[in-house]
């Protein structure tokens, strides 16, 4: 079982769209996929369930008083008086997407997100209040390693082939938990100037987190591997990305996926309001087929690079 | 093939080459009707057929300049390398195309040079500054 965080500091780069479609394609190929939505924007959650279901049945906006999202897990670990739910108990039952998958063992399970996830950082800061200065590093590393230890059981039981974590566009305690739990990091990015700087910023945060964890934790060292950058929202002209984008696609100090996802507002704008990622739609037009083959090629390359069997 | 056929073939090949050499911007403008082709005819020079690209612009040479830029520590050093290697616009332009940069034939020398240094030395220095010593390994 491989755990991969999908992350970029910049929002709106197509990260969630890529995560949902990669998951769908992998499940279509018979893989058992667990999705963890850790972004307070809840976009990945809304790619599979409607906001009213999320509000009424999952308690995702905090109005029902019963929380069946990843936030209840963070609340539990941050507060001794609250019970920490089993991660598996947060999986949304009966996702509609299952109807679009063949009967080959592949599946998508989703642990949904909550609007309040944005405040988790502050809540967890309480855990550190009262900790003597000499032990802060150790305590922090412990906090960052919580998701890792809770997912350990799934790893041991090989319950899934792949876990994909949709991370928020920042480096708070939620993101740090995701990175520490991960075997690999996938970075979707748009090929432009500020986005490529965002990749460097991420490399720095990732590097310093890994160092901080490995010096402080006292447990085994972690080595999450940067699987590479996947360029999204490519404008194709004459069979290749336009030159202005190509200019930013030659990165020499990080690995880059050869698969890319093109920009197409017509196809992606309404997706996935129906709860089914684009790649499973089966439209019959040439542009749609090119997009599907791009996602297929991404899935194949991803399995190779992430070591998904 | 008759001489006429062959001449027509050459003419069309020249048009094809002109289209291939266009930048994306130029091409888009052409499609939108904002650009108009202008064709002129020149005497064919005697030696033109056997003309090889000058050794200054061989791929090997272009690659070696690229390697030099990879090692430059400052943008100024980058500018110096490029200036010395390509004092003329033609070479500079060919080098920019070799690096797959978005340049146009009508761009000023300074602009092309800037683009080259930014895309090579500049990108590396920016990236190092933000990464603060951490790498993606
Ligand atoms: N390849 C694409 N072509 C066109 N639009 C896209 C593409 N990928 C994503 N989008 C659209 O761009 C917006 C941002 O995408 P999203 O996946 O939510 O980004 P992120 O998770 O990085 O914030 C969404 O409205 C989405 O529909
Ligand atoms: Mg998102």
Task: Give the pLDDT of residue B48.
Answer: 46
Question: β-strand A236-237 against A225-231: which pairing, if any?
Answer: unpaired
Neighbours of A202 (CB within 10 A): 29
Residue B94 and residue B46 share a domain: no
Task: Tell me the average pLDDT across A2-17.
Answer: 95
Q: Ligand 2 mean position to A230 CA, how many Å?
A: 15
Residue B76 and residue B39 share a domain: no
| Residue A147: partners with Cβ closer than 8 Å, 6 or more residues away | A177, A178, A180, A181
A34: β partners:
A109, A163
Q: How many domains does chain B have?
A: 2
B88 in a structural domain: yes
Please indicate whether, in this complex, the C-beta atoms of A203 and B119 are within 8 angstroms of each other.
no
Place of tokens 């830029």: B69
Tens digit of each residue's pLDDT (9 = 90 or more) over A131-147:
887 888 888 888 899 99
Residue among A13, A14, A260, A277 to mutate when testing ligand 1 (max atoms within 8 A of CB) = A14
Q: ipTM score of the complex? A: 0.81
Residue B72 and residue B108 share a domain: yes
Residue B79 and residue B31 share a domain: no
Q: What is the mean pLDDT of chain A?
A: 93
Residue B35 and residue B65 share a domain: no
Task: Tell me the average pLDDT across A296-304.
Answer: 98
Residue B71 and residue B110 share a domain: yes
* Domain carrying residue B68: 59-131
Searching chain A, which residue's CA lies closest to the CA of residue B121? A252
Please indicate whether, in this complex, the C-beta atoms of A200 and B27 are within 8 angstroms of each other.
no
Tens digit of each residue's pLDDT (9 = 90 or more) over A152-176:
999 889 999 999 999 999 999 999 9
For chain A, say whether B135 makes contact (Cβ under 8 Å): yes
Q: Ligand 2 mean position to A39 CA, how many Å?
A: 7
Q: Look at residue A187 and tell me whether its pLDDT is greater than 80.
A: yes
d(CA A213, CA A221): 8
Structure-token pair, residue B106: 């009508």
Q: Look at residue B24 and tell me whether its pLDDT is greater than 80.
A: no
C-alpha dist (Å) from residue A128 to A132, A135, A136: 9, 9, 7
CA B36 to chain centre: 22
Q: Look at residue A128 and tell me whether its pLDDT is greater than 70.
A: yes
Tell me the domains of chain A and their CATH numbers: 2-306 (3.40.50.300)
Task: Give the pLDDT of residue B46.
Answer: 47
DSSP single-letter state for residue B74: S
Task: Give the pLDDT of residue B47.
Answer: 46
B102 in a structural domain: yes
B137 in a structural domain: no
Question: β-strand A2-6 against A162-166: which pairing, if any?
Answer: parallel
B136 in a structural domain: no
Tens digit of each residue's pLDDT (9 = 90 or more) over A14-56:
999 999 999 999 999 999 999 999 999 999 999 999 999 999 9
DSSP string, chain A: -EEEEE--SSSSSSHHHHHHHHHHHHHHTT-EEEEEE--TT-HHHHTTS-HHHHHHHS-TTSSSS---SHHHHHHHHH-TTSPPPPGGGGSPSS-GGGGGS-SSS-EEEEE---GGGGGHHHHHHHHHTT--GGGHHHHHHHHHTHHHHHHHHHHHHT--SEEEEE--SS-SHHHHHHHHH-SEEEEEE-SSHHHHHHHHHHHHHHHHHHHHHHHHS-S-----EEEEEEE-SBPEETTEE-HHHHTTT--SSS-B-S---B--HHHHSSTTTTSS-GGGS---SHHHHHHHHHHHHHHHHHHHHHT--
Residue B122 and residue B82 share a domain: yes
- Cα torsion for A302, A303, A306, A308, to the nearest 10°? 160
Report which of A203, A209, A144 is spatially closest to residue A174, judged by C-alpha positions.
A144
Q: Look at residue B35 and tell me whether its pLDDT is greater than 80.
A: no
């Amino acid at each position: 079982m491989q755990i991969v965080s999908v992350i970029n500091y910049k929002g709106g780069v197509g990260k969630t769209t890529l995560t949902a479609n990669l998951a769908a394609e992998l499940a279509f190929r018979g893989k058992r996929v667990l999705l963890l939505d850790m972004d307070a924007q809840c976009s990945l959650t809304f790619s599979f369930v409607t906001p009213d279901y999320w509000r009424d049945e999952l308690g995702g906006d905090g109005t029902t008083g019963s929380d069946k999202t990843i936030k209840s897990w963070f609340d539990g670990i941050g507060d001794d008086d609250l019970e920490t739910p089993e991660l598996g108990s947060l999986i949304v039952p009966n996702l509609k997407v299952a109807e679009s998958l063949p009967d080959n063992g592949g599946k998508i399970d989703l642990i949904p997100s909550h609007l309040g996830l944005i405040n988790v950082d502050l809540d967890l800061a309480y855990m550190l209040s009262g900790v003597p200065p000499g032990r802060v590093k150790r305590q922090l590393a412990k906090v960052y390693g919580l998701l890792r230890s809770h997912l350990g059981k799934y790893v041991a039981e090989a319950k899934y082939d792949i876990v994909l974590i949709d991370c928020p566009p920042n480096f708070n305690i939620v993101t740090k938990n995701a990175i520490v739990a991960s075997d690999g990091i996938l970075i979707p990015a748009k090929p432009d100037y500020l986005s490529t700087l965002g990749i460097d910023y991420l490399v720095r945060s990732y590097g310093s987190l890994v160092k901080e964890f490995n010096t402080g934790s006292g447990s085994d060292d972690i080595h999450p591997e940067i699987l590479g950058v996947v360029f999204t929202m490519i404008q194709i002209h004459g069979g290749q990305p336009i030159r202005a984008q190509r200019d930013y696609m030659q990165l020499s100090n990080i690995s880059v996926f050869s698969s890319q996802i093109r920009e197409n507002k017509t196809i992606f704008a309404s997706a996935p309001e129906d709860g089914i990622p684009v790649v499973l739609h089966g439209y019959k037009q040439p542009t749609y087929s090119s997009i599907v083959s791009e996602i297929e090629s991404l899935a194949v390359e991803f399995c190779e690079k992430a070591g998904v069997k | 093939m008759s001489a006429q056929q062959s001449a027509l073939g050459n003419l069309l090949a020249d048009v094809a080459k002109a289209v291939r050499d266009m930048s994306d911007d130029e091409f888009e403008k052409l499609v939108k009707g904002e650009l108009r082709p202008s064709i002129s005819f020149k005497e064919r020079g005697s030696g033109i057929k056997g003309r090889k690209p000058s050794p200054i612009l061989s791929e090997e040479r272009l690659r070696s300049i690229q390697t030099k830029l990879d090692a430059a520590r400052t943008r100024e050093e980058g500018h110096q390398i490029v200036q010395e290697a390509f004092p003329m616009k033609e070479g500079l332009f060919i080098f920019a195309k070799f690096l797959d940069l978005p340049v146009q034939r009508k761009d000023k020398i300074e602009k092309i040079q800037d683009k080259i240094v930014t895309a090579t030395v500049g990108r590396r220095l920016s990236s190092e500054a933000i990464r603060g010593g951490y790498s993606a390994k």
